[in-house]
């Protein structure tokens, strides 16, 4: 009797182990989605301000030094923000891929309980390792974005000088 209960409990534990990774990555995704939204909104605001200067230029009005400087600064900031948005997007996609691989790992663990092939028992481990590598890639992208974020702050500060 005791032997019959241990195997299902172990099976449930094995199936739920990747779920811990899913919840941890979910927390990372919440922060990255928020950052992505902020970057996209900042790009929209800068583009709106940039359009104001473009309209002045189309009316053949000359920009004074301060307006020209701001126009150039907006252009630089927008380019940097686009790079940052790509890095955050790639981080989000990598982390989402990791979550998907963790879900597939749980399914594969369940399948191994019904498939008698010995070599198939290694499949969940391989999928799990791929999921962890996907997380590593996502964290590298997120770290790169944080490093680049300081560059935009410097552009903004220099614009005020």
- Whether residue 149 is contained in a domain is answered as yes
- Whether residue 66 is contained in a domain is answered as yes
Q: Is the dihedral of CA 62, 64, 69, 73 positive or negative?
A: negative
Maximum CA extent, the chain: 89
Question: For the packed helices 2-58 and 65-112, what is the interaxial angle rounded to 10 degrees?
Answer: 160
Measured distance CA(149)–CA(40) in Å, rounded: 13
- Whether residue 10 is contained in a domain is answered as no
- Whether residue 12 is contained in a domain is answered as no
Q: Is the pLDDT of residue 10 over 80?
A: no
- Whether residue 55 is contained in a domain is answered as yes
pLDDT tens track for 28-74: 999 999 999 999 999 999 999 999 888 888 887 777 888 888 889 99
Split into its structural domains, the chain has a count of 1
Note down the domain range covering 154: 21-160
């Amino acid at each position: 009797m005791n032997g019959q209960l241990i195997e299902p409990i172990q099976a449930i534990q094995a199936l739920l182990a990747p779920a811990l990774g899913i919840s941890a990555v979910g927390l990372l995704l919440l922060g990255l989605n928020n950052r992505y939204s902020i970057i996209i909104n900042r790009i929209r605001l800068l583009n709106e301000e940039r359009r104001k200067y473009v309209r002045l230029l189309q009316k053949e009005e000359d920009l004074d030094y301060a307006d020209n400087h701001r126009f150039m600064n907006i252009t630089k900031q927008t380019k940097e923000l686009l790079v940052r948005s790509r890095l955050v997007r790639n981080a989000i996609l990598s982390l989402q891929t990791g979550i998907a691989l963790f879900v597939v790992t749980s399914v594969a663990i369940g399948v191994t309980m019904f498939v008698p092939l010995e070599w198939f028992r290694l499949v969940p481990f391989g999928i799990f390792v791929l999921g962890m590598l996907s997380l590593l890639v996502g964290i590298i992208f997120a770290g790169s974005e944080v490093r680049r974020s300081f560059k935009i702050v410097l552009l903004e500060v220099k614009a005020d000088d």
